[in-house]
Amino acid sequence: MKILVTGGAGFIGSHVVDHYVQHGHEVVVVDNLSTGYAANVHPRARLHQVDVRSAQLADIFERERPDVVNHHAAQMNVRRSVAEPMFDAEVNVLGSLNVIECAKRFSVKHFVYISTGGAIYGEPEYLPCDEMHPVNPLSQYGASKHSVEHYLYIYHVNYGLDYTVLRYPNVYGPRQDPRGEAGVVAIFTGQMLADEQVVINGDGDQTRDFVFVEDCARANLLALTRANGSGIYNLGSGRGTSVNEIFDDLRRITGYRRKPVHGPALVGEARTIYLDAAKARRQFEWTPTISMTDGLQLTVAYFHALKPAKAA
């Protein structure tokens, strides 16, 4: 199949591209490189440096005629969504709608959309959150990502566009940018390896559902062959890990000697969230395979390997 991946030069999207290419698919990447890097793109994938909001996107669809669209491109920083809600909506809602319109116009067979499980549910009424949990986001990011799910339903009912929504947990691993993305594992790792002061927002007892990037990328591959009609699926480990636990584990792995400094808690973030991925397990036979310990060690090894190159 020919698959067009938006955001395919970014942290998670580039791992998805790798999986698609390695399994014999022809892959086209659309990325404006605002947070992604051309070096992340698999050498057998074609990169178009275009913003998903651009009218040029239709030209790419007309030229490439993809069978599948995998839509990862997004404004994904919760803090920026709170500070700049208009920009957040412009990218995440209008940009996504542009991609969906192109998919409809050029007869795409399947649309895989990356939503958020960490920000969509708000403060949970029960844990772990399954797909039937009420959606009450606390941030503009959560609201903008969820709105696209409604558009996909409309385009499925009215135009026959099949879709799979994957609601991501907190994804971590190699290629995450500690400067440009709100990923606590990458931020802490970068600071610890540079022997800089680590700042924990709030008391650090807030919990998140952390899943290694390779596991999430594999779900995107399974969605191509095991999705049965259109639907929404949580990805997650089913357990919460506190920010303090992440700090302690990374300190042990890196040999970091400083104590953390605690700053104010952030606006728009839930106190506790972790996800029930039983539906994905039933439909895709997907479960996380990489433990937190192994995932953190792989992440630290990746960032440690970058240090000589950056120093040069």
Active site residues per annotation? 141
95, 73 Cβ separation under 8 angstroms: yes
126, 133 Cβ separation under 8 angstroms: yes
Separation between Cα atoms, residue 270 and residue 234, nearest integer Å: 17
CA atoms within 13 A on the CB side of 298: 15
Separation between Cα atoms, residue 32 and residue 75, nearest integer Å: 12
114, 71 Cβ separation under 8 angstroms: yes
Which residues face 167 on adjacent strands? 115, 234
Q: What is the dihedral of CA 226, 230, 231, 237, to 10 degrees?
A: 20
Separation between Cα atoms, residue 95 and residue 86, nearest integer Å: 12
279, 133 Cβ separation under 8 angstroms: no
| CA-based torsion, 237, 122, 149, 133: positive or negative | positive
282, 236 Cβ separation under 8 angstroms: no
Report which DSSP code applies to 23.
T
- How far lies 132's CA from each of 23, 129, 162, in Å? 33, 8, 20
Residue 5, H or E segment:
strand 2-6
Nearest to 2 by CA among 50, 44, 56, 65: 65
